[in-house]
Amino acid sequence: MDKQPMYWSIRRELWENRSIYWAPLAVAVFFMAGFMGSTIGMPHRRRALMLLDPAKQAASINKPYDVVAMMLLGTAFLVGLFYCLDALHGERRDRSILFWKSLPVSDRTAVLSKASIPLVVLPLLTFLLVVTTQILILLWSTAVLLPSGLAGSTWRHVHFIQNAPILAYGLIVLALWHAPVYAWLLLVSGWARRSPLLWVVLPPAVLAAFEKIAFGSSYFGSMLKYRLMGGIQQAFVFKPDGDVAALTPGTFLGTPGLWVGLVLAALFLAAAAQMRRNREPI
pLDDT tens, 160-209? 677 899 999 999 999 999 999 999 999 999 998 888 999 998 888 999 99
Which amino acid is it at 254?
A: G
Q: Could you state, in order of their start, the residue ranges of all structural domains in the chain?
A: 3-278
pTM score > 0.85 for this model?
yes
Residue 262 confidence class, pLDDT cut points 50, 70, 90: very high
Which of 137-141, 161-165, 175-179, 215-219 is predicted most confidently?
Answer: 175-179
> Which percentage of the chain shows pLDDT scores above 90?
58
Task: Report whether pLDDT(2) > 70.
Answer: no
